[in-house]
């Protein structure tokens, strides 16, 4: 390890003076990635589960057992796909 003879950094080892770590927002932080996974999970699960629950309750009230549940379940799957794509695009733009 050789020492640098610079005006500002005299006597500091070269490995310490020239290393500059670029720290992106959230890089290296595991909580950031847990948040991303949670955000994607909620974007997928909530519309599907909500569609199934609301459809099931409508079927009980209207006596049309599988129709409302299946219809709102398919709608929930479509919404969750759109949410997934939008969330991934937002994450890519931030990085």
Domain ranges of the chain: 25-94
Hunting for tokens 């759109």 — which residue is that?
82
Are the CB atoms for 72 and 52 separated by under 8 Å? yes
Distances (CA, A) of 46 to 18, 25, 39: 48, 28, 11
Q: pLDDT, tens digit, for every residue of 26-37?
A: 456 888 889 989
Q: What do you get for the CA distance between the two ends of the chain, in Å?
A: 35
Distances (CA, A) of 35 to 9, 53, 61, 76: 40, 26, 38, 22
Q: In this predicted structure, what is the pLDDT of residue 17?
A: 47
Q: pLDDT, tens digit, for every residue of 53-66?
A: 999 999 999 999 89
Confidence of residue 95 (pLDDT cuts 50, 70, 90): confident
């Amino acid at each position: 390890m050789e020492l640098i003879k610079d005006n500002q950094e005299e006597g500091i080892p070269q490995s310490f003076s020239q290393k500059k770590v670029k720290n992106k927002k959230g890089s290296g932080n595991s909580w950031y990635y847990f948040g991303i996974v949670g955000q994607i999970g909620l974007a997928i699960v909530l519309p599907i589960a909500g569609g199934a629950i609301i459809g099931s309750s409508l079927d009980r009230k209207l006596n049309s057992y599988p129709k409302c549940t299946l219809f709102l379940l398919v709608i929930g799957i479509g919404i969750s796909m759109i949410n997934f794509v939008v969330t991934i695009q937002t994450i890519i733009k931030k990085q």
